[in-house]
């Protein structure tokens, strides 16, 4: 070990610097923008000048200096919202702090839909910042450390993503559809070509919503024949019964669902459900008590798992003949049974969000034909139902308002009548009833569960670090197994301890070296040695073994090894003893 001491020390120093830097980065307030916010001159919502420099705000990662930009000639486009992330000086055009190469600022023009051209070169550049996927975690950590010590700039963790369009003989222009632009030959979505699309006919697929006017999709497009999810060509032909379904609910609405009503097919974020199991039927679009969008088919209940990008089966279809009616938001009647949805989440103490779930529940001992609405319709919270001498509240708040069940039991008739007829009820009134025990989750059977598991990046990184450490330790053990590493070295007039301290003792100042052979705590025996000096000082007891091994040492083997060590000391005239 002694001859590798500088390598070992270097690794320890680097490890210390890394850990110190990461701790410093996590707790420091070096990115405070108070003075900047007070003194900077804001050009728009993205760009600002400060002390003769130009800065760009990149959401999720703060301000970046726009390198080489000249503050005195820097300008922004007139649209302070859609085009606020585009700036220019006499030399370059910038998306945030990144140069859009080959784009000439003197003839810069915004085409709409975040497309920009100088008449020759054209770009799409998103208004929304995104994670820079080309910057891996190791580069980011290295740049963060460099930034902390002032030897590197701020890592480009987020940016405004830009795509350069191919050269065109005809001008590009935007279309009245989200992120779409065309020339005479091609159509583009966010700068990416739509295969086989007719650029003259491309438009948004309509989004249908119950009781409201349809509107254009920002995810699905058609040219009247082909259908696209973003720039992905889907395997279906367009007709008037192809539409995107508007979904309510925080988590369920994060994905885009295309319905082909003629064939009963569903596409979630462009992923097709199994055509062999079609037709599919949507349970509900008003998902206040769900984290997944559920579709019923003869062979089961299915949902799209956005984390895996796959369609999964939640369980067997409980609805006879796949026939059901939604009698209230997330509450269903099928034959003589009442079903409802319940949202749930699983959180770990240290690992954060582990899963989100949607449970389909069956109301116990309630006949659907016996259920009667008592609501007067005066208030959205009058949704009270009665079955015999039992009363139920069908919730309108939802899981985001801490009401995860679609159905609650009302414990007394007086509360039920007051809730059914009251006007000007507030959400707090419903929560007060729940807190007082007058509204309680009804006894129900859990029929099936749709579940989405979530990976925690921080937890995954810990696993990689710990796992890597274990692998490295095992590798070192494999390479050094059964190797003898002497507890000391003798070099010229020095006795050097062969451990991480590499402490040196002058031989002339050593009174004696004391050895011990003792029983180990977990079985077997262990060797110990101590340096005692002529000035009365003594080192700590150092533990040693005959070789690197996981097998417990035997007393005879250690005593033989001690005698070998004592012989080396005798050769140097150093006194020793075995205690």
Across the range 499-523, mean pLDDT stands at 89
Q: Give me the pLDDT at residue 227, please.
A: 99
Q: Which of the four pLDDT bands, split at 50, 70 and 90, describes residue 368?
A: very high
Going along 17-61, which residue ranges are E strands?
Answer: 41-42, 47-50, 53-58
Q: Give me the pLDDT at residue 377, please.
A: 81
Answer yes or no: are the C-beta atoms of 354 and 418 closer than 8 Å: no
Distance CA 218, CA 180 (A): 10
In the 8-state DSSP scheme, what is residue 250? T
Q: Phi/psi zone of residue 545: left (φ > 0), alpha (ψ -120 to 50 degrees), beta?
A: beta
Q: Give me the pLDDT at residue 30, please.
A: 46
Q: Residue 431: pLDDT above 70? A: yes
**Tokens coding 510:** 């050593």
Helix (H, G, I), strand (E, B) or coil at 470: helix
Q: Residue 100: pLDDT above 70? A: yes
Q: Residue 411: pLDDT above 70? A: yes
Q: Which of the four pLDDT bands, split at 50, 70 and 90, describes residue 20?
A: low
Lowest average pLDDT, out of 68-77, 220-229, 517-526, goes to 517-526
Q: Smallest Cα–Cα separation from 47: which of 109, 98, 122, 13? A: 98
Across the range 436-451, mean pLDDT stands at 94
What DSSP letter does each residue of 516-547 carry, written as one string? EEEE-TTSSEEEEEEEEETTS-BPPPEEE-SS
**Tokens coding 395:** 């919730």
| Cα 91 to chain centroid, rounded | 38
Give CA separation, 176 vs 115, 221, 513, in Å.
Answer: 13, 11, 89
Q: Residue 87: pLDDT above 90? A: yes
Q: Residue 514: pLDDT above 90? A: yes
What b/e readout covers 251-277, taking b as 16+ CB neighbours within 10 angstroms?
Answer: bbeebbbbbbeeebbbbbbbbbbeeeb
Residues β-bridged to residue 510: 533
CA dihedral 553, 557, 558, 559 (to 10 degrees): 150
Q: Give me the pLDDT at residue 25, please.
A: 47
Where do the structural domains in the chain lie, given as residue ranges?
A: 1-30, 488-578
Distance CA 527, CA 545 (A): 6
pLDDT tens digits along 251-284: 999 999 999 999 999 999 999 999 999 999 999 9
Distance CA 500, CA 12 (A): 10
What b/e readout covers 160-182, taking b as 16+ CB neighbours within 10 angstroms?
Answer: bbbeebeebeeebebbebbbbbb
pLDDT tens digits along 180-209: 999 999 999 999 999 999 999 999 999 999
CB atoms near residue 303 (< 10 Å): 23
Name the percent of the chain in helix, strand, coil, to the closest 5.
20, 35, 40
**Tokens coding 302:** 């299915």
Helix (H, G, I), strand (E, B) or coil at 15: helix
Answer yes or no: are the C-beta atoms of 360 and 294 closer than 8 Å: yes
């Amino acid at each position: 070990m002694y001859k590798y001491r500088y390598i070992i020390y270097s690794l320890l120093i680097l490890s210390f610097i890394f850990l110190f830097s990461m701790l410093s980065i996590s707790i420091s307030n070096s990115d405070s923008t108070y003075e900047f916010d007070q003194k900077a001159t804001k050009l728009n919502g993205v760009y600002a000048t400060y002390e003769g420099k130009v800065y760009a705000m990149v959401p999720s990662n703060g301000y970046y200096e726009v390198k080489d930009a000249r503050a005195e000639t820097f300008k922004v486009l007139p649209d302070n919202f859609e085009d606020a992330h585009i700036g220019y000086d006499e030399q370059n055009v910038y998306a945030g702090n990144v140069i859009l190469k080959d784009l000439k600022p003197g003839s810069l023009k915004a085409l709409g839909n975040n497309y920009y051209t100088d008449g020759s070169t054209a770009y799409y550049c998103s208004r929304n910042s995104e994670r820079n996927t080309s910057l891996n975690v190791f580069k980011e950590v290295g740049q963060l450390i460099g930034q902390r010590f002032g030897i590197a700039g701020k890592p480009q963790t987020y940016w405004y993503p830009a795509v350069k369009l191919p050269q065109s003989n005809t001008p590009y222009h935007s279309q009245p559809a989200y992120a779409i632009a065309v020339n005479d030959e091609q159509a583009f979505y966010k700068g990416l070509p739509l295969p086989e699309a007719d650029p003259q006919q491309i438009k948004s697929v309509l989004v249908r919503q119950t009781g409201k006017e349809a509107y254009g999709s920002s995810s699905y497009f058609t040219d009247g024949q082909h259908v696209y999810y973003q720039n992905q060509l889907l395997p279906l032909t367009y007709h008037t019964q192809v539409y995107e379904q508007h979904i309510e609910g925080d988590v369920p609405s994060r994905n885009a669902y295309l319905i082909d009503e003629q064939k009963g097919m569903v596409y979630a974020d462009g992923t097709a459900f199994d055509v062999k199991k079609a037709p599919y039927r949507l349970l509900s679009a008003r998902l206040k008590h769900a984290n997944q969008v559920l579709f019923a088919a003869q062979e089961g209940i299915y949902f799209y798992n956005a984390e895996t990008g796959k369609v999964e089966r939640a369980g067997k279809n409980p609805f006879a003949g796949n026939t059901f009616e939604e009698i209230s938001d997330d509450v269903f009647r099928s034959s003589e049974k009442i079903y409802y949805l319940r949202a749930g989440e699983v959180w770990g103490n240290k690992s954060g969000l582990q899963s989100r779930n949607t449970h389909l529940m069956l109301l116990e001992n309630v006949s659907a034909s016996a259920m009667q609405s008592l609501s007067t319709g005066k208030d959205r919270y009058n949704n009270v139902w009665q079955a015999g001498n039992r009363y139920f509240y069908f919730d309108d708040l939802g899981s985001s308002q801490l009401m995860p069940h679609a159905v609650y039991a009302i414990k007394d008739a007086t509360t039920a009548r007051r809730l059914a007829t009251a006007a000007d009820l507030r959400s707090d009134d419903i929560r007060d009833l729940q807190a007082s025990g007058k509204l309680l989750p009804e006894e129900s059977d859990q029929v099936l569960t749709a579940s989405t598991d979530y990976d925690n990046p921080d937890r995954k990184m810990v696993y990689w670090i710990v796992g890597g450490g274990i692998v490295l330790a095992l590798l070192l053990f494999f390479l050094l197994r059964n190797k003898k590493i002497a507890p000391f070295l003798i070099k010229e007039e020095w006795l050097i301890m062969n451990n991480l301290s590499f402490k040196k003792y002058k031989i002339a100042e050593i009174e004696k070296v004391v050895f011990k052979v003792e029983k180990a705590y977990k079985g077997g025996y262990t060797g110990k040695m101590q340096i005692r000096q002529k000035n009365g000082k003594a080192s700590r007891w150092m533990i040693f073994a005959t070789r690197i091994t996981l097998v417990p040492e035997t007393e005879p083997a250690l005593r033989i090894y001690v005698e070998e060590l004592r012989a080396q000391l005798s050769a140097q005239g150093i006194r020793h003893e075995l205690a």
